Structure 1
Amino acid sequence: MRFRVCSDVGGTFSDLFVFDENNGEWNIFKAFTVPRRPSDGIMAGLRQAADHYKLTLDGFLRDCVSLVHGSTVALNALIEGKVAKVGLICTRGFRDILTTREQGRSEPFLWKTDYPDPFVPRYLTLPVTERVNSEGGVEIPLNEDEVRAAVRQLKGHGVQAIAVALLWSITNGDHERRIEAIIREEWPEVPVVLSSQLNPILREYRRTSSTVVNASLLDVIRTYVSDLQAQLSDNGYACPLSLVTSAGGIASVQDMMERPIYSINSGPSMAPIAGQTTVAMEQGIDNVLVVDMGGTSFDVSVVQDGKINLSREIVMGGCFLGVDLVDSRSVGSGGGSIARVDAGGLVHVGPESAGANPGPAFYGRGGTRPTVSDADLVLGYLNTEAFARGGTPLDPALSSAAIEEHVAKPLGIDVAQAAFTIWSTVNNDMQAAMQDLAISRGIDLRDFVVVSGGGAAGMHIQAMAMELGIRELIIPKAAGVLSAYGGAFADLVKEYSAIAFVESNRFDFAGVNALLESLERSAVAFLDGHGIDPADRRLEYYAEARYPEQIWELPVPLRTGRIADQAQLDALVADFHDIHERMYAVKDPSQPIECLHWKVRAIGATPKPAIRKLPFGGEGADHALKGTRKAFFKDLGGFVDAAVYDGTRLTCGNRIEGPAVIEEPTTTVVVMPGTAMTVSEYGSYVSRFA
């Protein structure tokens, strides 16, 4: 077997990265996403790959040693409300937790604003009598008759899954487990999700929210993954399918089917892995800002001190997910984002997207409203002959007509100026997303290398980087399929966590170490179960801590797997103070800290593609020059002749000075006037700014 494949289903394109272990070469492929059956887009990309390697689809898939897959299928289902009907069993007195949430209204001082609709309607949220206290003691025994009545009532309402989230079940899950047993007796076939097993965290709203969301996605992901597996198997693929998690690792199909909440936005979560891998190969730098501009959205994430930032503060589809996911900012600014002019004469771009069907106007597939990609074509950045590997021809007349009708006429300007207005507007929106993430993480963008990917990003990112004061920009050779590229380097990851409140000035060494040992056993058993060699595994340990009376915690990596003595506790406290200062620009070393949440992350290394270096070819790039075409640059007064280069012919050391355009099979890079791009030894395009 010779091929390692990673696929990513986006809103517009389905991307594939294929690595050939026989010769160390790799290729990338794009196919239009099929929203009604996303697996069809992946199969179309696999057929492109098979054709490229002069194999039948069956022959290609039989020669695949691994296939890693990520998608936005779960996210789309959540946003569109196309999820299973869920019933919730909760502690009596807490029936309205999904309505009141943590503060109720999004604007608490606007009294006319109603509470948001709960994810599970009140008539499907059924309380039962029971009570466990914060230390795990049973205050009120579980009323099993009420549980049986609730299950029968939910069955009568035709729910498709049942979520169970009881107060303080994180300290004692016996009542939740007994409820599950009763459900099995009353209704054996219905799926059940327990909050104490799925997400044992403090703050009952977030725990409850994650539980009902997970339950709602069980059938969505099982149906989707089963369909994909069937198509792959029917066409010759015989190895296990691996699925990317939203926390930046990979999981088995079985793990993901049990915890589909971790598949939400799993495709974009591969982008920071790609950024981390790219910079590690190129320079060995640990601080990276990763941006990915696809057809539908623009995603920003951070790798800090060599670690991908995770967060439990993620809200999607109006719900707090409450689980550790890649901390990213997304805005509706992609190549397919639609531009419009409001009644006040202001231009807006996105979040509405033309998607894969009809797509931008230039495809001639029925799209009549202008998109960012239409503007890029009119400005001369895109090649009119073909786009992506599919060879779809582009019609600039259709783009011009759409921009003229919907932007130029309302603003009273010509088409070129209108296209530039769309281009600069979407740039501003994306810059704001980058700044928002930087502010929330307490980082200075000038200290970070930016890795840019996505089919559309190369035509925008250099101008944005200069505006933000970025010092270094890297556009990987595989930028057009950045997330799929990242998935090829993802490791097997699963996290185990538990609650234990301790204070640093009254630290329970024995209790904390016993808890860490228990979590460690679970992590080791997970790695053993997947056959990970001891040399290919590692465990990471974390505490989530805060100052007394603070509301939120910060994750603090533990230097060792145990806190055995005062010196190791002092190190944990000192690390917390430093992290707090980095995040909030303040610390108080005189204060003790409170630790609430303990985690062990199991990581199993997977085989990685060995990317070959390019031969050094010197600065000259005339051998790759295709010619010139008119491209719009405001600083030069409008349209000028820009050199156009064939990116597939460039090699290490080649230097491209702007104004210029570099054309790759799945992306285009615009080199702004007064700047330059240099090709690295791995084929990346690197810009450094003074």
Structure 2
Amino acid sequence: MTKEQTIRNAGDSRYRIAVDTGGTFTDVVVGSSDGAIAVGKALTTYDRVFTGFEASVRRAAESVGWDGDDVLRNADVIVYGTTHATNAVLTGRVARTALLTTQGFADTLLLREGGRRDAFDSKAAYPGPYIPRELTYEIPERINAEGEVLVPLNESYVRSVLRTLAAEGVEAVAVSFLWSIINASHENRLAELLQEVLPGVPYTLSHAANPTIREYRRSSAASIDASLKPLMADHLGNLRADLEQFGFGGDLLVVTSEGAVLDVVDVLDRPVLLLNSGPSMAPLVGAAAAPDHDTVVVCDMGGTTFDVSLVEKGIVRHTREAWLGEPFVGHLTGLSSVAVSSIGAGGGSIAWIDGGGLLRVGPQSARSMPGPAAYARGGEEPTVTDACVALGYLDASGFEGGFILDREAAVKAIDSRISGSLSMSTERAAQAILDVSANHMATAIRQASLEQGVDPRGALIVAGGGAGAMVAAAIGLLLEADTVLIPATAGVLAAYGAHRAPIATEFLSPLANDTRSFDIASASRAVGELEAKAAAFAARFDGVGSRPVFTYFVDARYPGQAWDLRVHLGDVPNTSEGGAEAIEHAFHVEHDHRNGTHDPNSRVEVITWGVRVEISRPDHAKDAIRAGGAPESHRSDPVIFSGETHSTPRYRGVTLGPGDVLPGPAVIDQPTTTIVVPPEWDATLDDRSNIYLTRKEA
């Protein structure tokens, strides 16, 4: 078929576009209705996100002979992932937000949870609350744990406070009253007063943001959610307007922290779900690439960050302890999200010399503007990418970011900032930058896995992201791993995860119970409420995907424990006779799995009932498989490994097929990433074009 025929036929196709907007690059995966897949990458544009998104789509379309305009106009679904919300919270660039709370509880955000990462660091400053004390207002009202009104809501006082907020220029309001999860009447009435006195000002009620018994998490979730509403309404509104202006008339779905997608309307109503959403997609690809491995450690190295997550027996691990920023010092919502640990170690991480003369890499990043020095966009600081250019890893003339790399600029940056200070040659300094960066990433993997009871030496390492495949072997060596897997879609790992992600959400019912004095009526009420909410949510997406799957769970604990465990029960839990025993048994099993011990004679306290609704979307993608043979390189380049220059063959990834074996040293140039195979390693393609790096026997 000629290119002209391909373009003409593409105009009749329908498309699904998944986009991951990172700190440096915007990655896209485009799937057509006939099963074909195309990928693209372009620099992220901060002033108008659609600009970088459109450039990525066009690059993906052009790579397979499609017309970019047709792809955008004929897309049925666009799935959008972004770090915009997370970055806004971490940098404090959110709306000016006030917190209204029960009288006597103004310090909930100040007292917070947790402690210190380093218990012996007496000089660590006490972190401030998410919403400053001067914007926290105590409201006379009180409801007890049984839902009884002890102190009625003082509406005249509320009106005076709201008028004060207007004078203070408040842009959003969070409301968190005591025991609103049992009786939300006061929070609901305050919402009515807000609409009356401050019409148009967005607000969040804590019982809707996170219906949990834990007061800090509920208040924190409400505060963060409210502060994000103006920002994300503007961000997503601009994107939607740009898409509509271009002619897009399909569905806009947004990636959430739960490792799923939701309609943009749902996300605008609850933007707290966007926190940590970008990294939540990569584990889906890791799970699919290695379905037969008990434990998989997924590493996603982009231009700004390095993310680590765990997959156990095909199940992506979730957590409700996802801190925004440093643990115990940052902020916590208590909402379920994919368990991801992130550090500032990406391709754009800046190398620098500290006051003691030691080489450091990150956490500062050159991002997309000005970018690494090799991008020739004004960057002068040496980065990991510049080190890879100097060592010959990256093909300066064939870089797929939409521009040609400037090797001389990369060398100049390394020499001016690193080589001279360390009295090293350019090559040794570049290798040192990579070594320091790889050690940071290996340490992050050890910490993330060991904290979850997983030894990384016995796990399969899956490496992806635009920069991950360049250092995958180095990380494997540091972790004593003999094999590292690089998925076929490694360069756009998160975007491909978004392409496959289901529509899903969770509903919670905070009705406490006890397995030894089981309240059947309360349990039945909780499960009934969940069934109704789950059915209503599924009905909205009837016909969009496969049949919805409902997975019920409880958050429970032993008496006296400070923290609870999430225990999955599967089908609708039995709330009649025998239901308590089933919950007890499931909790004992989960507690033993997570902590290595359990108490079979103890009763169990159920803190929260919950259900996850998941609707898998149809996947029409087909694997573009060609028979393997005798792979031929298109040229050889001098590439430096551990201080020695090797004449290294370069292969175009699109010419390789299943069964091909490439002995190291070798470099594989993919459309969205570069795979580096050091001399001590070999590369083998499996039947799905995933690449396994294996260490040669000594």
| Shared fold per TM-score greater than 0.5 | yes
Q: Does 1:365 align with 2:377?
A: yes
5 Å matches for 1:180-199? Answer: 180-199=191-210
- Which residue of structure 2 lines up, in the alignment, with residue 344 of structure 1? 356
- Which residue of structure 1 lines up, in the alignment, with residue 395 of structure 2? 383
2:511 is matched with which residue: 496, 500, 521?
Answer: 500
Q: Does the 8 Å CA contact 1:513/1:562 hold for their aligned counterparts?
A: no
- Which residue of structure 2 lines up, in the alignment, with residue 421 of structure 1? 432
- Which residue of structure 2 lines up, in the alignment, with residue 680 of structure 1? 686
Supply the distance in 2 between the matched residues of 1:600 and 1:89 (Cα, whole angstroms): 30
Q: Does 1:21 align with 2:33?
A: yes
Q: CA 1:51–1:662 in structure 2 vs 1: closer, same or farther (change >3 Å)?
A: closer
Deviation at residue 157 of structure 1 after TM alignment:
1.0
Q: Does 1:234 align with 2:252?
A: no
Q: Does the 8 Å CA contact 1:30/1:45 hold for their aligned counterparts?
A: yes
| CA deviations over 1:181-208 (Å, ceiling 9, x no partner) | 1222222222121000111112211111
2:211 is matched with which residue: 200, 206, 216?
Answer: 200
Supply the distance in 1 between the matched residues of 2:118 and 2:107 (Cα, whole angstroms): 18
Q: CA 1:460–1:430 in structure 2 vs 1: closer, same or farther (change >3 Å)?
A: same
- Which residue of structure 2 lines up, in the alignment, with residue 518 of structure 1? 529
| CA deviations over 1:523-550 (Å, ceiling 9, x no partner) | 1101102224795211011111222211
Deviation at residue 307 of structure 1 after TM alignment:
2.3
Equivalent position amino acid for 1:303 in 2: V
Q: Does the 8 Å CA contact 2:38/2:64 hold for their aligned counterparts?
A: no
2:316 is matched with which residue: 298, 308, 320?
Answer: 308
- Which residue of structure 2 lines up, in the alignment, with residue 412 of structure 1? 423
- Which residue of structure 1 lines up, in the alignment, with residue 7 of structure 2? none
Q: Does 1:258 align with 2:260?
A: no
SS at structure 1 position matched to 2:461: strand
Q: Does the 8 Å CA contact 1:329/1:433 hold for their aligned counterparts?
A: yes
Gaps of 5+ in 1: none
Supply the distance in 2 between the matched residues of 1:528 and 1:192 (Cα, whole angstroms): 27
Q: CA 1:32–1:193 in structure 2 vs 1: closer, same or farther (change >3 Å)?
A: same
- Which residue of structure 1 lines up, in the alignment, with residue 229 of structure 2? 218
SS at structure 2 position matched to 1:202: coil
Deviation at residue 608 of structure 1 after TM alignment:
1.6
5 Å matches for 1:316-331? Answer: 316-317=324-325, 318-331=330-343
Q: Does 1:90 align with 2:127?
A: no
Deviation at residue 146 of structure 1 after TM alignment:
1.6
| CA deviations over 1:463-504 (Å, ceiling 9, x no partner) | 212321335422112111111111110111111002122222
Supply the distance in 2 between the matched residues of 1:688 and 1:10 (Cα, whole angstroms): 30
Q: CA 1:642–1:58 in structure 2 vs 1: closer, same or farther (change >3 Å)?
A: closer
Q: Does the 8 Å CA contact 1:290/1:451 hold for their aligned counterparts?
A: yes
| CA deviations over 1:147-182 (Å, ceiling 9, x no partner) | 111111111111111110011111211111111112
| CA deviations over 1:100-159 (Å, ceiling 9, x no partner) | 223688778877765422222222211111111222222222212221111111111111
Q: Does 1:641 align with 2:621?
A: no
Q: CA 1:420–1:506 in structure 2 vs 1: closer, same or farther (change >3 Å)?
A: same
Moved more, 48-57 or 185-194: 48-57
SS at structure 1 position matched to 2:311: strand
- Which residue of structure 1 lines up, in the alignment, with residue 306 of structure 2? 298
Q: Does 1:548 align with 2:559?
A: yes
Deviation at residue 594 of structure 1 after TM alignment:
1.8
Equivalent position amino acid for 1:302 in 2: L
Equivalent position amino acid for 1:621 in 2: P
Q: Does 1:483 align with 2:527?
A: no
Q: CA 1:247–1:580 in structure 2 vs 1: closer, same or farther (change >3 Å)?
A: same
Q: Does the 8 Å CA contact 1:616/1:681 hold for their aligned counterparts?
A: no
- Which residue of structure 1 lines up, in the alignment, with residue 289 of structure 2? 278
SS at structure 1 position matched to 2:634: strand
Root mean square deviation of aligned Cα: 2.1
Equivalent position amino acid for 2:306 in 1: F
SS at structure 2 position matched to 1:15: strand
Q: Does the 8 Å CA contact 2:41/2:60 hold for their aligned counterparts?
A: no
Supply the distance in 2 between the matched residues of 1:662 and 1:651 (Cα, whole angstroms): 12
Q: CA 1:501–1:688 in structure 2 vs 1: closer, same or farther (change >3 Å)?
A: farther
- Which residue of structure 1 lines up, in the alignment, with residue 9 of structure 2? none
Q: Does the 8 Å CA contact 2:515/2:583 hold for their aligned counterparts?
A: no
Q: Does the 8 Å CA contact 1:58/1:237 hold for their aligned counterparts?
A: no
Q: CA 1:428–1:455 in structure 2 vs 1: closer, same or farther (change >3 Å)?
A: same
Moved more, 256-265 or 589-598: 589-598
Q: CA 1:315–1:343 in structure 2 vs 1: closer, same or farther (change >3 Å)?
A: same
TM-score, normalisation: structure 1: 0.94
Q: Does the 8 Å CA contact 2:257/2:338 hold for their aligned counterparts?
A: yes
Q: CA 1:358–1:517 in structure 2 vs 1: closer, same or farther (change >3 Å)?
A: same
Q: Does the 8 Å CA contact 1:613/1:681 hold for their aligned counterparts?
A: no
Supply the distance in 2 between the matched residues of 1:287 and 1:460 (Cα, whole angstroms): 21
Equivalent position amino acid for 1:653 in 2: G
SS at structure 2 position matched to 1:470: coil
Q: Does 1:656 align with 2:659?
A: no
Q: CA 1:534–1:621 in structure 2 vs 1: closer, same or farther (change >3 Å)?
A: closer
| CA deviations over 1:588-627 (Å, ceiling 9, x no partner) | 3333222211111111121223232513324x323xx122
Q: CA 1:466–1:111 in structure 2 vs 1: closer, same or farther (change >3 Å)?
A: closer
TM-score, normalisation: structure 2: 0.93
Q: CA 1:157–1:139 in structure 2 vs 1: closer, same or farther (change >3 Å)?
A: same
Supply the distance in 2 between the matched residues of 1:152 and 1:106 (Cα, whole angstroms): 41
Supply the distance in 2 between the matched residues of 1:105 and 1:426 (Cα, whole angstroms): 26
Q: Does the 8 Å CA contact 2:29/2:60 hold for their aligned counterparts?
A: no
Q: Does the 8 Å CA contact 1:243/1:256 hold for their aligned counterparts?
A: yes
- Which residue of structure 2 lines up, in the alignment, with residue 171 of structure 1? 182
Supply the distance in 2 between the matched residues of 1:561 and 1:187 (Cα, whole angstroms): 42
Deviation at residue 664 of structure 1 after TM alignment:
0.7
Deviation at residue 568 of structure 1 after TM alignment:
4.9
Q: Does the 8 Å CA contact 1:105/1:114 hold for their aligned counterparts?
A: no
Supply the distance in 2 between the matched residues of 1:652 and 1:365 (Cα, whole angstroms): 39
**How many aligned residue pairs are there?**
680
Supply the distance in 2 between the matched residues of 1:53 and 1:422 (Cα, whole angstroms): 36
Supply the distance in 1 between the matched residues of 2:563 and 2:49 (Cα, whole angstroms): 38
Aligned-residue sequence identity (percent) comes to 38
Q: Does the 8 Å CA contact 2:514/2:603 hold for their aligned counterparts?
A: yes
Moved more, 11-20 or 380-389: 380-389
Q: CA 1:672–1:588 in structure 2 vs 1: closer, same or farther (change >3 Å)?
A: farther
Gaps of 5+ in 2: 1-12
Supply the distance in 2 between the matched residues of 1:173 and 1:379 (Cα, whole angstroms): 62
Q: Does the 8 Å CA contact 2:202/2:230 hold for their aligned counterparts?
A: no
Deviation at residue 268 of structure 1 after TM alignment:
1.8
Q: Does 1:473 align with 2:479?
A: no
Q: Does the 8 Å CA contact 1:449/1:471 hold for their aligned counterparts?
A: no
5 Å matches for 1:109-124? Answer: 115-124=126-135
Deviation at residue 11 of structure 1 after TM alignment:
0.4
2:414 is matched with which residue: 400, 403, 413?
Answer: 403
Q: Does the 8 Å CA contact 2:303/2:347 hold for their aligned counterparts?
A: yes
Give the ranges of 4+ consecutive aligned residues of structure 1 lying more than 6 Å apart after TM superposition. Answer: 104-112
Equivalent position amino acid for 2:298 in 1: V
